Amino acid sequence: MERILDEEQLQLLRRKIDEARRVACVCHVNPDGDAMGSTLAIAAWMMRLGKECCVIVPNRFPDFLRWMPCADQVIRYDKNTAKADDFLRQADLLWVCDMNEPSRALEMEGILCECSDCSRETGGLFMLMVDHHLHPAEGFCNLQLSHPDMCATCEVICHLMCQMGEGGDMSTQEATCLYTGMMTDTGAFTYASTRSVIYECVSLLLSRGIDKDKIYRNVFWTASPARMRLIGYLLYVKMELIQGMNTAVMTLTNKERRMLGVKNGDTEGIVNMPLQVQGLRLSALISEDTEHPGFVKFSLRSVDDFPCNEMSARFFNGGGHKNASGGRMQCTIEEAVEIFRHAVKEFEPMLCR
Ligand code: 5GP
Ligand code: MN
């Protein structure tokens, strides 16, 4: 396992956890398996240590994560803003999970910046970032455990818990949450998962009693009929292979979502599917933002060394990882597709080699 804290940080964190009574865990908007896994694992850990703990997420999380331990106790910020603000203002330890900057929490950005100011000025609140995205916002948290080399925030937490001597006390619930995050962020260990230490983590989690096959089924084999129809529709009707560019693009409007009876989480992961086409290097799903009318979301996936985060940062007002990135713009789907075509043209040398 990897050491992710130096001795001074270890002592500091031990002291902050010991002293804390009210603990909050937050993550990015549209929480995925790693965001839910990391916040729920930490919450379970903190509750095991006798803390009052609360997980607050910016908005709805996908139905295929509802089975997760204590997911029913998660507070949605968009639905319970006052209650969440209240808890955050009274917390003395705040874990910022799977996000590198406050803007990734969208509507929660304001209260998180308020917390950050408070943590710097009064010292009454200690903020800790555990994350694996590039470019963590400097000065946002008091302690920053940012590891872009790791496959998931849940992996970071696995190392953290081991280093803090918690590996042997980890509950099956905590381990289940951590495995879920590592499994979902690596497509069930099919990408971003070549470091051997990942399997040391998996081995530890198995020894803590997880049922990995059940977790897999819970996450990946719980599609709604609408999702299956959506997959068929997108691949058959909407997938466009951009001539000579080794690129596929699909679009999805809210009208099409209604036609197919599609819910938010139903689109999860579909953007990966065109990459199964021989020779394809880049796949994009461009969709109308269901919660913010007038905005369009970009979701990109690539293989090998194609840096879709650079494309997202340059053209789609976004960012992310080398092989999985996204962005958001205020425009129509048609305009977004034009912007995407332009971006592909600009990246032609990298797409066609
Ligand atoms: P997804 O396609 O699953 O929505 O996003 C894939 C990854 O891209 C996320 O894990 C995140 O790192 C990044 N990402 C998605 N949307 C945005 C965005 O609007 N801004 C930034 N900076 N990154 C994003
Ligand atoms: Mn993640």
7-45 pLDDT, tens digit each: 999 999 999 999 999 999 999 999 999 999 999 999 999
Rounded to the nearest whole angstrom, what is the distance from the C-alpha of residue 226 to the centroid of ligand 2? 26
- Which percentage of the chain shows pLDDT scores above 70? 100
Strand 22-26 and strand 52-57: pairing? parallel
Q: Do domains 7-220 and 225-351 have the same CATH topology?
A: no
pLDDT of 262 reads: 94
Rounded average pLDDT over 293-317? 97
CATH of domain 225-351: 3.10.310.30
* Tally of CB atoms within 10 A around 108: 27
pLDDT of 103 reads: 95
260-294 pLDDT, tens digit each: 999 877 898 899 999 999 999 999 999 999 989 99
Residue 319 CB–ligand 1 contact under 6 Å:
yes
* Average pLDDT, rounded, for the chain: 96
Rounded to the nearest whole angstrom, what is the distance from the C-alpha of residue 122 to the centroid of ligand 2? 31
Tell me which residue of 106, 97, 89, 178 sits closest to 144, measured CA to CA: 97
101-152 pLDDT, tens digit each: 999 999 999 999 999 999 999 889 999 999 999 999 999 999 999 999 999 9
Pocket test for ligand 1, best of 250, 252, 325 (most atoms within 8 A of CB): 325
pLDDT of 264 reads: 77
Residue 325 CB–ligand 1 contact under 6 Å:
yes
Residue 353 confidence (pLDDT) above 80: no
pLDDT of 88 reads: 97
Rounded to the nearest whole angstrom, what is the distance from the C-alpha of residue 277 to the centroid of ligand 1? 23
Q: How far apart are CA 25 and CA 27, in angstroms?
A: 7
Ligand 1 atom 11: the closest Cα is on which residue?
Answer: 320
Rounded to the nearest whole angstrom, what is the distance from the C-alpha of residue 21 to the centroid of ligand 2? 27
Q: How far apart are CA 111 and CA 77, in angstroms?
A: 10
Ligand 1 atom 3: the closest Cα is on which residue?
Answer: 299
pLDDT of 222 reads: 87
pLDDT of 132 reads: 97
Rounded to the nearest whole angstrom, what is the distance from the C-alpha of residue 101 to the centroid of ligand 1? 12
* Residue that the structure tokens 């081991």 belong to: 162
Residue 314 CB–ligand 1 contact under 6 Å:
no
Rounded to the nearest whole angstrom, what is the distance from the C-alpha of residue 263 to the centroid of ligand 1? 19
- Among 117-126, 151-160, 252-261, 331-340, the range scoring the smallest mean pLDDT is 117-126
HEC profile of 46-66:
HHHCCCEEEEEECCCCCHHHC
pLDDT of 123 reads: 81
Residue 326 CB–ligand 1 contact under 6 Å:
yes
Alpha-carbon distances of 215 from 23, 48, 222, 293, rounded to whole Å: 27, 22, 11, 35
177-205 pLDDT, tens digit each: 999 999 999 999 998 999 999 999 999 99
Tell me which residue of 181, 190, 128, 117 sits closest to 153, measured CA to CA: 181
pLDDT of 61 reads: 94
268 Cα nearest atom in ligand 1: 3
Q: Which ligand is nearest to the CA of 157?
A: 2
212-222 pLDDT, tens digit each: 999 999 999 98
Fold of domain 7-220: inorganic pyrophosphatase (n-terminal core) (3.90.1640)
Residue 33 CB–ligand 1 contact under 6 Å:
no
pTM reported for the whole predicted model: 0.81
Spell out the domain ranges in the chain: 7-220, 225-351
Residue 63 confidence (pLDDT) above 90: no
Tell me which residue of 24, 15, 68 sits closest to 46, measured CA to CA: 24
